Chains A and B, each alone.
Chain A
Amino acid sequence: MMNLTLKIWRQKDANSKGQMVDYKVTEISGHMSFLEMMDVLNEQLINTGEEPVAFDHDCREGICGMCSMYINGEAHGPDRGVTTCQLHMRMFKDGDTITIEPFRASAFPVIKDLVVDRESFERIQHAGGFVSVNTSGNTQDANAIPISKIAADEAMDAAACIGCGACVATCKNSSAMLFVGAKVSQYALLPQGQVEAKERVLSMVAQMDKEGFGNCTNTGACEVECPKGISLENIARMNREYIKASV
């Protein structure tokens, strides 16, 4: 069982100035997930009549990408290949002080406490992160189109992106290129994606720039912090697709 000090960013709403506030939690088990530890804190705050800490979460199993937290200076905390909901408290020691902040990026404004607005990602998706298919009932069987195993695997790897925004949060430039690279790649690798490939990469990148994400300088931090292991190769592929579509 652990006793911990938490330093948490508290901010009343989008327009207020926030600040770091210290809290103590006791009797935390190493088997708990980080969000369960946050639940313990919030129970405590509710019991003492204080405002609980607002944070995003939904699936609590690494799928929805909602649980955005910057823990001890890293997106989703110190573990690799996990979201905050998959982070175990056994990664910490009794007596530790844990700093918990919202994801920081001009394109991800804070709404309240640890909750940020990631609509900018939605707008990038709307700009081209889809294939226009006819679903009228006479669609062709997908298996009728031959696809190489390598392309299928790489497309599947790119499609594993859950849009959590850890790549942006961790990037010193708040660049969204890993996310957009993954979204562009998952279609660029497959024949079904070819038809709209040009417009897709051009309009998704244009939307990304419009949202105020920064410029990638290839630090590679995103790839390390991404809970889904999205590779930098996807950014290079997006760059190639973009250059191909521009000339």
Chain B
Amino acid sequence: MSGLLSSSIARKFAMALSALFLVFFLLMHVSINLLSVFSEDAFNTASHFMGTNPLIQFVMQPVLMLGVLFHFILGFILEIRNRKAQVVKYAQNNGAANSTWMSRNMIYSGLVILLFLAVHFVDFWFPEMNYKYIQGNPEDPTRYYHELVEHFQNPIKVGIYVLAFIFLALHLLHGFQSAFQSMGANNRKYTPGIKKFTMGYAIVVPAVFILIVLFHFLNH
């Protein structure tokens, strides 16, 4: 690799930046989803806005795609480099003695999220693109809620989503606090607070996603 990402520390920093961007996006996503539990109209209004606003559709959406792509491609590159750094493995290695399972398996939790993203795209994004831009259907601002509810009537689909969110939680339990360390933010005064906050986020946000899915599954 050349230029900006040529050093290990620059790659860590870039990884952390892309991760924090995704963390921020996730917060927006869960907030909008949560509306669907309380009000069909509010959810439709928010989704209609997100689905039709040109700034969101043609600027934010591509930025998000690039962000996700950047994050997992750099994740793979780091993983490959790190494997090369230790070719001969220990006969006995007690990783649990000094680190968390989450921290040692970011590539696997990440891979599960990646597989989930594929399912999620087939479920929502492809049909949405098809509906709007290929079929060129007229916009119906009341359609979003029903589309959402329909997806979560199949117990297998619900299971896949729940499982994926559990892995997202595992990924974030290590990843969110790790991003601060990667960017050089480690400080005796603030780090304990940052760790508590990021752990709270890593548990609450995926849990809310799960509850929303279960709500629609059980309620309709």
Q: From B86, which residue of chain A is reached at the shortest CB distance?
A: A174
Contact with B along A9-52 (1 / 0, CB 8 A): 10000000000100000000000000000000000000000000
User: CB-CB < 8 A to A206: which residues of B?
Assistant: 7
B interface residue numbers (CB < 8 A to A):
7-13, 78, 81-82, 84-95, 97-100, 103-104, 106, 174, 178, 181-188
Count A-side interface residues using an 8 Å CB cutoff: 48
* A205-B98 in contact (CB<8A): no
Whether A90 is near chain B, meaning CB under 8 Å from some CB there, is no
Whether A161 is near chain B, meaning CB under 8 Å from some CB there, is no
* B86-A220 in contact (CB<8A): no
Using known A-B contacts A216-B12, A246-B10, determine if residue A172 contacts B82 with beta carbons closer than 8 Å: yes
Shortest Cβ distance from residue B61 to the other chain A in the assembled complex, whole angstroms: 29
User: CB-CB < 8 A to A106: which residues of B?
Assistant: 84-87
Query: Taking chain A's interface residues, is the majority helix, strand, or loop, or is none over half, making it mixed?
Result: mixed
10 cross-chain pairs, A with B, having the tightest CB-CB distances, nearest first: A73-B94, A214-B85, A236-B186, A240-B184, A224-B98, A173-B82, A239-B184, A174-B85, A219-B103, A214-B82
* A74-B8 in contact (CB<8A): no
Whether A233 is near chain B, meaning CB under 8 Å from some CB there, is yes
Which residues in window 169-185 of A have CB below 8 A to B?
Answer: 170, 172-175, 177
Shortest Cβ distance from residue B31 to the other chain A in the assembled complex, whole angstroms: 28
* A101-B91 in contact (CB<8A): yes
Q: From B94, which residue of chain A is reached at the shortest CB distance?
A: A73
* B10-A99 in contact (CB<8A): no
* B92-A209 in contact (CB<8A): no
User: CB-CB < 8 A to B13: which residues of A?
Assistant: 239, 243
Which residues in window 215-240 of A have CB below 8 A to B?
Answer: 215-221, 224-225, 232-233, 235-240
* B181-A236 in contact (CB<8A): yes
* A205-B85 in contact (CB<8A): no
A242 to B82, CA, bound (A): 21
Shortest Cβ distance from residue A173 to the other chain B in the assembled complex, whole angstroms: 4
Whether A72 is near chain B, meaning CB under 8 Å from some CB there, is yes
Using known A-B contacts A72-B92, A101-B90, determine if residue A214 contacts B106 with beta carbons closer than 8 Å: no
Instruction: Tell me which of B81, B89, B92, B95 contacts A214 (CB under 8 A).
Output: B81
Using known A-B contacts A174-B85, A218-B103, determine if residue A236 contacts B185 with beta carbons closer than 8 Å: yes
Using known A-B contacts A215-B82, A219-B99, A233-B186, determine if residue A209 contacts B12 with beta carbons closer than 8 Å: no
Whether A107 is near chain B, meaning CB under 8 Å from some CB there, is yes
Whether A114 is near chain B, meaning CB under 8 Å from some CB there, is no
Instruction: Tell me which of B89, B97, B182 contacts A239 (CB under 8 A).
Output: B182
Most buried by B among A78, A219, A243: A219
Using known A-B contacts A73-B97, A217-B178, determine if residue A205 contacts B8 with beta carbons closer than 8 Å: yes
A20 to B91, CA, bound (A): 8
A237 to B184, CA, bound (A): 6
A15 to B58, CA, bound (A): 57
User: CB-CB < 8 A to B97: which residues of A?
Assistant: 73-74, 78, 224
Whether A70 is near chain B, meaning CB under 8 Å from some CB there, is yes
User: CB-CB < 8 A to B98: which residues of A?
Assistant: 74, 170, 219-221, 224-225
Whether A198 is near chain B, meaning CB under 8 Å from some CB there, is no
Whether A197 is near chain B, meaning CB under 8 Å from some CB there, is no
Q: From A217, which residue of chain B is reached at the shortest CB distance?
A: B106
* B12-A239 in contact (CB<8A): yes
A74 to B13, CA, bound (A): 29
Whether A208 is near chain B, meaning CB under 8 Å from some CB there, is yes
* A221-B82 in contact (CB<8A): no
Whether A57 is near chain B, meaning CB under 8 Å from some CB there, is no
Q: From A222, which residue of chain B is reached at the shortest CB distance?
A: B98
User: CB-CB < 8 A to B8: which residues of A?
Assistant: 175, 177, 205, 208-209, 213-216
